[in-house]
Chains A and B, each alone.
Chain A
């Protein structure tokens, strides 16, 4: 899909040209190109096509010459002593340097678009300069890495459906969801067909009555009794037709609305189930709001499309063709006058929709300026008041409010002008029909009976509704395909962490955890863990310390199997974690996070979240152990107090203790404490610390903490820095290391206290 994105949107080569790659590899004595990037700015800052290629021993720069040839300059990597970059607003510079006073080996300029591909190369070069090898960089991956890096911003911004995003394909896939409801669909479509047919008959009967009953009766050619009989039959037929039509309308509305709701329900269920199965990496790419919109607003829009759009559009097409055929059959001369302008009317409606689009964009833009003020000032009201800026904010809002009103009034002016004019056009066609029909009705030219003419006029009035639907068809389909793209994108995303066949269940988990030369990179190249190895015995309390961004959270993310290691093995009780049944394993894993999350529900529901069947007595016992029982009992509704979204507001320390109670009740064999006490005051920390000490007894615990004093009881401390296990040992042992990282950190914290 990345290649498709580059080709379709970005308009730059999807890969390093094959002939150039072959030439570079020839110049390197057969050594492969492992990574490459497009150098899209030349020294004069003009957009250009040059390529930077990285191999195991060389770096090459290929520039296109005036004669459309490639000028390739290769540099042995051993000559590179430093890699420097200078980021700019849109032009970045990468310099490969040799000795300090020598000219640069290469000076490359590129736009932000190429940044990902360049950073991959820079990372590998810098690691090599630091004496480290980067695993996972291979010639087979070069094309994929380049395409992935270049396409990523677009891929993250847009919902793209696997296998191409052609509208027809997406609509067909959406209609596939109707399959289980074929019977209901058949009913709905049949009813809609009946409505169309039933609508076409009354005008014909009206004409028949005039020509075959009323006029002959007035002229004395038909007895009054016979005429009355025929007229009543016609009236009864019409009444029956209207009854059938409305009954069919009822069936159609009911079946299609319900059917649409079922399809939306199926989509929501499939979507939600799939979201639950997706790996954390997916959630780091997509915004929460966007995912919620997909499950709610997008499926609702698809309901509307399936319930009404599909049938309305298809029947309007049938209706237009049917009406055209009937009018031409009744009287082809008048029929032509009526039908010829129809495509023009459809186009005018389409054109009107398109021209409104610009006005809507302006309106939307100005509307966002209004909401910007609201989202600025309402959360920031304390600042507004503190700096006495209320009057200025009111003026700002008024100005934007006025602006958006004016803009939307322009939209109203546009459509209120268009539709009466369009109807004037339709009526003008009817007037032209009258103008041509009257001489013929009066006996000049080709004869025209009043009945046929009345039928004709009645049919003509039926043209308006389908014209309107057809004119807006493009917009209806566009809206539906946009929503379908967003829904299908989620459904097409594959979870990166998956169970193998015949996955192993550890019953129970004893709690030994081993890392064997584990490497990991969130983006596939830049490693955040570089060959980490350790063995932790069951029941050990391991403190993970080190600077931010060093890799501590990644270690616990791998223990929880939120991600799989890129290299090396993580073992639980000696078993490769990738061979474990993830769900079963996580049942025996607990986490207490820095910002504990409480779901909407009672305090009891939250404590019992992982064990809904736990007894109330065990809930109370867990709460007591978590030092939470006292404050819960102080709440007016005790354990039945609603918390979470729109619920009772609890302090950070209270929420933390509830999450500890949740973990105690869950009784995990491996426990992860991620900065569990960092966001609370000293007194609360003491209470939480007490609770944690009860919680960690008899389990394997990994605790991340910045306040090193909280880790004094740890069996061992692991200092993780720059993705490596830099130091390991007890608090006392680490303090003994002269110039040690832990010792520095510890002394720094003691000084600050």
Chain B
């Protein structure tokens, strides 16, 4: 698969033989059938598809990749959510197969870029912490109360889970349910937050 900035590329998929079985299983779902047909078609001539591929938001609210005359419903996955969150985007179908790869959305035509940026805002959403209100230790868990730009939130981490320092600065905490909380560099926080976080950062 050759790569050029801004190109939406279609990977070679070597799993055609499994498609048949999957088709049988999902036969009852008309809409899926349609999407699958599109995908099959897209795979057939994937070698040829390049610059004419566009990204759109469908009438039903889904993100679609337009390949020639075909529309494929996709979801966005950031390959580097912390190192380079806005580039290297994998567009994947319902079966988590990569349909297209966008190295740099900036090189896409404006409407595609807007559609992708909108989808990216949701896919890359994490809770942005603005203030740490309290950190308390309980049996086997640590209880955090924080204020985020999205509202106040309490969450729990394992006692031996530590905040992770992000490449671009700031911290990332993952709670027991899997939600992610991004904190700015502690120096940018208020004094009490800094004091509470002191034990958890260098």
Interface residues of A (CB under 8 A from B): 9-11, 41, 45-48, 81-82, 84, 86-91, 93, 95, 97-98, 100-104, 107, 109, 111-113, 115, 129-131, 153-154, 156-160, 165, 357-359, 361-362, 364-365, 368, 481-482, 485-486, 547, 721-722, 741, 744, 748
A95 touching B125, Cβ below 8 Å: no
Q: Which residues of A contact B176 (CB under 8 A)?
A: 153-154, 156-157
CA distance A485 to B141 in the complex (A): 12
Residues of B within 8 A of A154 (CB): 141, 156, 176-177
Are B150 and A46 neighbours in the complex by a CB distance under 8 Å? yes
From 86 to 133 in chain B, residues with beta carbon under 8 angstroms from any chain A beta carbon are 94, 121-127
For A88, list chain B residues within 8 Å (CB): 122-125
Report if B140 contacts A (CB, 8 A).
yes
Q: Does B139 lie within 8 Å of A95, measured CB to CB?
A: no
Contact A158/B138 with A89-B126, A129-B28 known, Cβ cut-off 8 Å: yes
Instruction: Kindly identify which residue among B28, B123, B154, B178 contacts A11, using a CB–CB cutoff of 8 Å.
Output: B154
Cα separation A104 to B59 with both chains bound (whole Å): 8
In the complex, are the beta carbons of A157 and B158 less than 8 A apart? yes
Chain A interface: which of B6-14, B30-38, B42-50? B30-38
CB of B191 within 8 A of chain A? Answer: no
**Chain B proximity of A623: nearest CB distance (Å):** 42
Q: Does B151 contact A (CB under 8 A)?
A: yes
Q: How many residues of B contact A (CB 8 A)?
A: 53
Chain B residues whose C-beta falls within 8 Å of the C-beta of A104 in the assembled complex: 60-62
B182 to chain A: closest CB distance in Å?
9
CB–CB B156/A157 < 8 A: yes
Q: Which residues of B approach A to under 8 Å, CB–CB?
A: 17, 20-21, 25, 28-32, 34, 58-63, 73, 75, 78, 81, 94, 121-127, 138-141, 143, 148, 150-156, 158, 160, 162, 175-180, 198-200
- Is the beta-carbon distance between A365 and B162 smaller than 8 angstroms? yes
B73 lies within 8 A of A113 (CB):
no
Is there an interface contact between B122 and A86, defined as CB atoms closer than 8 Å? yes
Pair B59/A45 contact, Cβ less than 8 Å: no
Q: Give 7 pairs: A residue, B residue, CB < 8 Å, sorted on A.
A: A82-B32, A86-B62, A89-B78, A90-B178, A103-B59, A115-B178, A158-B141
- Would A722 and B75 be within 8 Å (CB), given that A82-B31, A84-B94 are in contact? no
CB of B18 to closest CB in A, whole Å:
10
Which of A45, A48, A115, A165: most chain B Cβ within 10 A? A45
Contacts of A113 in B (CB 8 A): 155, 175, 177, 179
Contact B139 A159, beta carbon cutoff 8 Å: yes
Chain A nearest CB: distance from B20 CB in Å? 7
Sample of 4 more A-B contacts, CB < 8 Å, known A11-B153, A46-B151, A112-B177: A9-B141, A47-B153, A88-B124, A153-B176
When the two chains form their complex, are residues B60 and A365 in contact, meaning their CB atoms are under 8 A apart?
no
B118 shortest CB reach to chain A, Å = 11
A-B contact count (CB 8 A): 150
B167 to chain A, nearest CB (A): 15
The reply to whether A91 and B125 contact each other, CB–CB distance below 8 Å, is yes
Q: Report chain A residues within 8 Å CB of B124.
A: 88-89
Docked complex Cα distance between A365 and B21 (Å): 48
- In contact, B140 and A159 (Cβ under 8 angstroms): yes
Interface centre among A84, A103, A359 (most CB of B within 10 A): A84
On whether A481 and B59 interact (CB within 8 A), knowing A130-B29, A362-B199, A748-B17, the answer reads no
Whether B139 lies near A45 (C-beta < 8 A) is no
A485/B139 in contact, CB under 8 A: yes
A124 to chain B, nearest CB (A): 15
- Is the beta-carbon distance between A95 and B153 smaller than 8 angstroms? no
| Nearest chain B CB to A739 CB, angstrom units | 8
CB contact between A111 and one of B29, B152, B179 (< 8 Å): that residue: B179
Instruction: Please state if B21 and A741 are interface contacts (CB–CB under 8 Å).
Output: yes
Asked if B122 and A109 sit within 8 Å, CB to CB, the answer is yes
B61 and A90 contacting across the interface, CB-CB below 8 Å: no
Q: Shortest Cβ distance from A373 into chain B, in angstroms?
A: 15
CB distance from A73 to the nearest CB of B (A): 15
Q: Are A130 and B199 in contact (CB under 8 A)?
A: no
Which residue on B lies nearest to A751, using beta carbons?
A: B17
**Which B residue sits closest to A363, measured CB to CB?**
B199
Closest to B145 in A: A11
